Structure 1
Amino acid sequence: MPDLPQELIVDILTRLPVKSILRFRCVSKSWLCLIASPHFIKSHLTISTKVNNHARHGLLLAPIDAPTELYTCSLYSVLYQRSPVSAEKVQLPLQSKYPRLSFVGCCNGLVCLSEGSHDLILFNPSTRKSNVLPNSGIDVGKFKHMTYGFGYDEVHDDYKVVAIGYSCPYGMNCQTIVNVYSLRTNSWRNIQGYEGGFISSCSGVFVNGALHWLVVSEDGSISSWRIVSLNLATETYGEKLQPNYEKGNVAFTPGVLEGNLCVFYNHYEVKFDVWVMKEYGLKESWTKLACIPYSVNFKGRASPLFVSEAGEILLKHDYSLMLYNGKVDIFTNRDLQMQGANYPGAAAVYIESLVSPHIDEVGHKTCAQ
């Protein structure tokens, strides 16, 4: 397309899926440089997030019966394909001898993973690029309880990983350490810890420029659980008021659905409520998205992953995936075909992007020559 204006070429390419764009890098040096440019990558990401369908989303799976493997498939096929969905195996540069992969978080097409040895990896499932992060500097022998979070600092155009370690010998005199990794500097540094209680072991949920955890007071009172946020730009803590949920024997799990902060309330043996904060920071905007009753097919051990255009909720339930239609109260199991594995132990929805998991100047040097 030598006669087309550069602006039109950019407009066409940014609307294509990542797989197609990667093939076009071979067209010419100018196209290679264009596709590798930060402006193009951001433009493609912006369009991908605005596309009103699920074709630009993928599902990353970590099987419980193959702990060293990762699989990926299109979210669209999981939501709408009637036949079993085939998932493709992907490779990662695993560091430990016996890794146990778990998801820390997803942001702009990057997925942060932790291994059993507390190694951390940034991975782009669309480009298959990965980056093993340097050690956090936290003594995991002393701070045996670790939790992490991953998100994007828009103010400084930087991706950050937060590592939080706890040491509570004999349940008393607990110590906390919080270190933050910056992708831009490829280094860790220590910041002030949260002093109002203990952050739960679940990974931080990234919404609106901040990571969110559930925190319990120092006396361990369940009634005092609350949502604490860490702004990644200012690296300051705040609190978000919870919805007016029913009290009782309840377990709380934070999450994100449709870009909104969520809390999942598991009323043991009774029901599973999904609450969504429609307007960030506004308590009155909490809305109950679904109330899923316990049944033979549903025991409450679930993680909502996505909401379809029809309002169905994709759930990671025990070691399977299912769709829940609240209008007719029906569960539909989604069969996955993973060569060498059968049971998804963890699942995460990501958006297709060209965002690099490391600061790579090689492409820019090539273009500058």
Structure 2
Amino acid sequence: MGTKRSCPSLGEDLIVEILSRLPLKSLMRFSCVSKEWYSLTRNSYLINIHLRRANSNLSLLTHEYDRDKRFNTDPKFGISMLGDEAADLVSIDLPILSNSFKFTNILGSSNGLVCLVARVKKKTRKFMDSAEIIIWNPATKQFRSLPKPVLEENFHRFDRPTLGFGFSDDNTDDYKLVNIFHKQVQVFTRSTNSWREVEGKGYPSCKYCYGDFWVSLKGVLYWSARTDRSKGGFVLSFNLRDEVFHVIQLPFGNDWYSRLLLWKNSLAIVSKNQVWMAKTDDSDESGDNNKIVWTKQFSIDFSISRCEEIFGIWKDQVLIRRHISRYDRLYLYDPITKERGKLLQKPEEKNYYGYGQLVNYVESLALV
């Protein structure tokens, strides 16, 4: 009679090492093998190590909308992704949206989670009364609505808070959402599921802080801001670790219309046709302007078409947004060869499409 051979079980460390090297879709299929494997895919150690290995596969998410129906009762909006191969824009399903939403914006993305602000069809003077803040993982399809912050009563009907979203460190267990409204600064933390007011040390009381022009990098949030309409702009930073603000001067004078970007894992800024990168001491990630030196990277000649602008950066190429009549078009541009790449579009794209916010995105198993 033959001897029954047993198969030695793999240690958990070896299993984590193997799973962390798999594409996310394959990894998610393994979560259906057993309860133990399902629990493993929700383990913070595996989530973190898988994220670190996936950070090289960077994608871009862009918010799109129907220019004719953006503010009507029958809105059309969505999110598209420019993936690792940059073949074309691909639509991403938004199951969280319903007919009760008037439109939605991408607030930002960090460690594979996307923060959305969706406006509902409700007439009210208060912005937050008609808004839902949603944390969404496009890869796992998980999402959740966050409790709303309580804002001060002294506001103008057109006032809206400035929001920022990110992780204070490499640990994907806990994220923070920052809400700035006049001189009031509040922080939401996932672990407590609640908002709290913070001192706002270093906050310069800027009157205009542009929520559409901000990024999250290495535990620091950066916004494009200015004190009033007559003065020039600056970059406002907020360190999610010590919750302290810093003011960073712009490299090109008083130009306040500045789009912030992430490029080569560094802070970059766009002014008209120029791109500048912030060089910092790797040992200091406080966001302090004394540690930042701006260097000009390149400029693009838009003299042929004044309806074009730098929209973002994908790998080593620039994403250009071209405004044509009632719609936008996106294409890639190589700043070294100065050659224009292919036009990026979707098969179902119509002439009325516009493109709003653009954020960096990487797939992950991060929990909402």
Shorter-chain TM-score tier = 0.7 to 0.9
Task: Measure how far apart 1:229 and its partner are.
Answer: 1.1
SS at match of 1:153: coil
1:126-171 CA deviation, whole Å, 9 max, x = no partner? 11111111112226893523221111112985211112224xxxxx
Quick check: 1:158 aligned with 2:174?
yes
Rounded Cα–Cα distance in structure 1 between residues aligned with 2:65 and 2:110? 23
Rounded Cα–Cα distance in structure 1 between residues aligned with 2:189 and 2:30? 31
Quick check: 1:303 aligned with 2:311?
yes
Quick check: 1:87 aligned with 2:90?
yes
Task: Measure how far apart 1:252 and its partner are.
Answer: 1.9
1:260-275 counterparts in 2 under 5 A? 260-266=266-272, 272-275=273-276
SS at match of 1:127: coil
More helix by share: 1
SS at match of 1:43: helix
Task: Output the amino acid matched with 1:122.
Answer: I
1:206-225 counterparts in 2 under 5 A? 206-218=216-228, 220-223=229-232, 225=233
SS at match of 1:188: strand
SS at match of 2:84: helix
Rounded Cα–Cα distance in structure 2 between residues aligned with 1:221 and 1:145? 20
Name structure 2 gaps, 5 residues minimum: 1-6, 120-129, 282-288
CA contact (8 A) 1:69 1:89 kept: no
CA contact (8 A) 1:305 1:349 kept: no
Normalising by structure 1, report the TM-score.
0.78
Partner of 1:202: 211
Task: Output the amino acid matched with 1:184.
Answer: S
Normalising by structure 2, report the TM-score.
0.78
Percent of pairs with identical residues = 28
Task: Measure how far apart 1:47 and its partner are.
Answer: 1.6
Partner of 1:258: 264
Rounded Cα–Cα distance in structure 2 between residues aligned with 1:29 and 1:98? 36
Partner of 1:321: 330
1:176-206 CA deviation, whole Å, 9 max, x = no partner? 3222111111111122342443242234321
SS at match of 1:293: coil
Work out which of the residue numbers 247, 258, 279 in structure 2 matches 1:239.
Answer: 247
Task: Measure how far apart 1:24 and its partner are.
Answer: 0.7
Task: Measure how far apart 1:25 and its partner are.
Answer: 0.8
Rounded Cα–Cα distance in structure 1 between residues aligned with 2:8 and 2:298? 53
Task: Measure how far apart 1:339 and its partner are.
Answer: 4.2
Partner of 2:160: 145
Partner of 2:15: 9
Rounded Cα–Cα distance in structure 2 between residues aligned with 1:295 and 1:62? 27
SS at match of 2:28: helix
Name structure 1 gaps, 5 residues minimum: 167-175, 267-271, 358-369
Partner of 1:354: 365
Change (3 A) 1:278 1:222: same
CA contact (8 A) 2:312 2:319 kept: yes
Work out which of the residue numbers 34, 41, 65 in structure 2 matches 1:35.
Answer: 41
Work out which of the residue numbers 154, 159, 184 in structure 2 matches 1:177.
Answer: 184
CA contact (8 A) 2:308 2:320 kept: no
Please provide the CA RMSD for this pair. Answer: 2.9
Task: Measure how far apart 1:249 and its partner are.
Answer: 6.4
